[in-house]
Amino acid sequence: MISETSYYLCITKIKTMKKLLIAFFICLTSAAFAQDKWTGTWATAPQFTTEGNMPKMELSNCAIRQIVHVSLAGKQVRLQISNEYGDAPLQIKSIYIADAADSCNINTKSARFLTFSKKRAVEIAAGKAEMSDAVKFDLKSSQRLSITINYGNGPKKVTSHPGSRTTSYIIKGESKPRTSFANGERTDHWFNISAIDVEAGDEGCIAVLGNSITDGRGSTTNKQDRWTDALTEALQAKDKPMGVLNLGIGGNCVVRYGLGDPAVTRFDRDILSQRNVKALVIFEGVNDIGNSNGNTETTAKELIDAYKTFIRKAHDKGIKVYGATITPFKGHSYFTFFHEAARQTVNEWIRTSTELDGVIDFDKLARDPQEPSRLQKDLQQDWLHLNAAGYKKMGEAAAEIIKQK
């Protein structure tokens, strides 16, 4: 027979266990929410830096100020730094972000230092990337954000994104928010920065897989007028704000060759690893076709097979997939009868596929009605890439399709 004291001890233990279980489940729920609350507001595809894209000044023990154009607003911000192509650890003394002003200047009152595991300094191993801790920062939609990195020692092989279409500024030594970069070296590349997340609601983000047309070749340096920038503005104007992540690489191919890792290799890292992706736009393939020296029918089939794999992987994660038709290129060195036939084959598949959730017909938008294998003259830069006017039309057209879904 259980004594009264033992009975009450048992009851007390049960109540304690119940409280612990409740606390445990609250922690689990909070952790799950914490993982889901982050949404990408900016991203770029990391690449190995070739000799021609290196700055004259070594980055080790220097400071670099870089400007990015974000999409989604947020009150909490975190930054990802990549050393994925480095051959040695990357030492960083400190990083601070601030509202960008003119040129290399910043609003010093807005400056906030970032931490990694609550420390300003961080060492990132070769082949790795690190996400900073969250910092309170009033990030506005479509604003220009300045990111200043104070480097320690770094690798000889550097991770970067050459097609920044934005000027970065480099000075020797360690900087502070009031340090002037006016006399620093200028270079139109990004180094080591790869993603920015914000604490957001259910807006989600759109990841765009592309080549130089997405990366912004033909847009205006420092004017933020790529087609993905126009997409951001158009979505906000339609009261449907979403993060827009430009994962284009100039000269990139889907299947093989080209600049940077081909899309079939980088897809998981550049697309699926982004936070809270709700939609994917696949707009890549022209470089595969243009560089095809063999059987173009095989090239077209390989592209379609790759698209199918991307669609399946994205759908497995609950991501909607939009296929964008390949734009014309007659007048450019890529153009041949067989290359045009391959483009038409791929575009026909995109337009008629039941696997896609939507189609963005950039071909129809940008082609010359009198000569459909050629871009409209007033929308193009070199008969392959569009210009700022063409990109504006592309972004607005994409927003119309995405808004409907």
> What digits encode the pLDDT tens for the residues 126-172?
999 999 999 999 999 999 999 999 999 999 999 999 999 999 999 99
Cβ(248)–Cβ(259) under 8 Å?
no
Arithmetic mean of pLDDT over the chain = 93
Which pLDDT band holds residue 403 (cuts at 50, 70, 90)? confident
Mean pLDDT in residue range 243-266? 97
> What digits encode the pLDDT tens for the residues 322-350?
999 999 999 999 999 999 999 999 999 99
The 8-class DSSP code of residue 134 comes to P
> What digits encode the pLDDT tens for the residues 4-61?
444 444 445 545 444 444 444 434 344 444 445 899 999 999 999 999 999 999 999 9
Cβ(137)–Cβ(73) under 8 Å?
no
- Residue 36's pLDDT is what? 54
Query: Considering only CA atoms, which of 164, 159, 126 is closest in space to residue 144?
Result: 164
Residue type, 54: M
Mean pLDDT in residue range 373-379? 98
Strands 112-113 and 90-99: antiparallel
- Residue 3's pLDDT is what? 52
Mean pLDDT in residue range 298-307? 98
Which pLDDT band holds residue 201 (cuts at 50, 70, 90)? confident
Question: Phi, psi at residue 124, to the nearest 5°?
Answer: -105, 120
Which pLDDT band holds residue 240 (cuts at 50, 70, 90)? confident
- Residue 9's pLDDT is what? 47
- Residue 22's pLDDT is what? 41
- Residue 15's pLDDT is what? 53
Instruction: Give how far the C-alpha of residue 19 lies from the chain's centroid of Cα atoms, to the nearest Å.
Output: 43
Stretch among 22-36, 82-96, 178-192, 370-384 having the lowest mean pLDDT: 22-36
Rounded Cα gap, residues 108 and 98, in angstroms:
7
Percent of the chain with pLDDT over 70: 91
Instruction: Give how far the C-alpha of residue 330 lies from the chain's centroid of Cα atoms, to the nearest Å.
Output: 29
> Exposed, middle or buried, 87 (CB in 10 Å: 0-12/13-18/19+)?
exposed
- Continuous H helices in 353-405: 362-366, 388-404
Which residue's entry shows tokens 């060492």? 123
The 8-class DSSP code of residue 70 comes to -
In 258-405, at which residue ranges do the beta strands (DSSP E only) sit?
Answer: 277-283, 320-324, 358-360, 367-368, 371-375
Mean pLDDT in residue range 238-252? 94
Residue 33 in tokens: 């929410």
Strands 190-191 and 243-248: unpaired
Stretch among 31-40, 208-217, 259-268 having the lowest mean pLDDT: 31-40
Cβ(205)–Cβ(92) under 8 Å?
no
Mean pLDDT in residue range 196-217? 96
- Residue 14's pLDDT is what? 46
Which residue's entry shows tokens 């483009």? 343
Residue type, 223: K
- Residue 7's pLDDT is what? 46
CA distances from 74 to 38, 120, 203, 238 (A): 10, 22, 11, 19
- Residue 301's pLDDT is what? 98
